[in-house]
Structure 1
Amino acid sequence: IINFKWRKFAKTRYVIFIGLYFLYLLSFMAAVTLDSGRVHQGNVINHLIISFSIIVLALGFMFIIAEIMQMIAYRKHYFGTYNVIDLGSTILPMIYAVGVFLRSSWRFEYVGISMLFVYVDFILRLRVFKEFGIPIFIMIEIFKRVRGPIVIIAMMVFAYTHIYWLLFSYMEVTDLVGDSPVTNDFSTPQRALVSVFFFVTGSFGGLSGAFGNPTVALLAIVFSFMTAVLLLNILIALMSDVV
């Protein structure tokens, strides 16, 4: 029955819906690109930004109504991962579009997160088609299986961020690149977090000029062993069972 309904009318309706969402995505991406300062500003560009923002608001309002109808229908069962992403991909671009009309600078603060939500949501909406649904399902199942090791890695990243941030707060980096001192990539918690995150990929560039300190070197070796040798191999083993 489900296959019959899908072939009879549901597929056509969903293709139309995907088409509208694709127009929504293109309009939002065009608006933020033109509004980014990367394109020479002028009256024509400003009119285009406003036009694309109107499309974002119009289609976003339609998608919001659809989400509200789902909330009413499913109530407490509505708030799942997919629906939260749907909400984020609808509300955040609309906030940006409102900011365009208000000429407010705060709209730029949401652009990056908004773009991420919109792109991810568009990909997830393709899951009803077999060609996209199977890979998406496999990726979700892989994540479910490996979330334990991922949480452990995240905890280690947080721990090392705290450790190195404190160590570098009272340790002087003495190495030079040419005539310039090496930049301290652990001067703030944010920079420390980014630097430690790249440790997972084997990039220890943030520690340049500090490997002469035995504590720093030992901690880096322990981190590399725990993540690259142990946890990543555990991840591979768990993923192989799913695929």
Structure 2
Amino acid sequence: MLTCNDLVVAHGDILALQGVTLKVATGETVALIGANGAGKTTLLHTISGLNRASSGDIQLEGVSISEWSTDRRVAKGISQAPEGRRIFPGLTVEENLSLASVSWRRWGESIAADLDRTFELFPRLKERRKQLGWSLSGGEQQMLAIGRALMARPKLLLLDEPSLGLAPRLAEEVYERVKLISESGLTILVVEQNTVLALSVADRAYVLETGRIVLEGPASELKHNARVREAYLGR
């Protein structure tokens, strides 16, 4: 589904990504873990077209997308739930969700079935469908951000720090939904500082440190890797 080959991304004189190579197979959930500032969000923004790589290549289903605009990438199946949720606070839950359908919707086409699927996954959003975004709790806003990304009908779902700022129980609840999305067969790349949660849903994982991939492998193995346990899981 996704291949990143030797990606280099610079912010001014600082190399945020230094030759990053990774793959995500169709139907797979892959976690990208690492400390704050490691370059995780930069990588997601580069995949979605918000950042431009200095060198390297990105392929979606074997086709290079490095020169594509962000809107073309969304139309072809890449959708992101960004760090910090970034919902529209003055719009209702339903309006936030409806906006994401513009990448595929044609005039007069109904989005009722898509809304129903999203509300089935996130029942709390259905209860609050007419509430404004600002009135939702942090956990509900995160569910809305993920639901909005799903409304774009993605082939590849990018999740950026879905547990950020949430109480432990709410973070677990969000990841319960991520697991359901994964089990439906959708391809997911999730960036996360909460290593325990990320590895609980992932098939494979990469560890990013200062812009470089330093470890990769099955999530079940990385849970027991001494270096990962020391740096991210605690003794």
Category of TM-score, reference length = shorter chain: under 0.3
Which structure features the higher share of strand residues? 2
Greater CA radius of gyration, 1 or 2?
Answer: 1
TM-score by length of 1: 0.22
Judging by fraction of residues, say which structure has more helix.
1
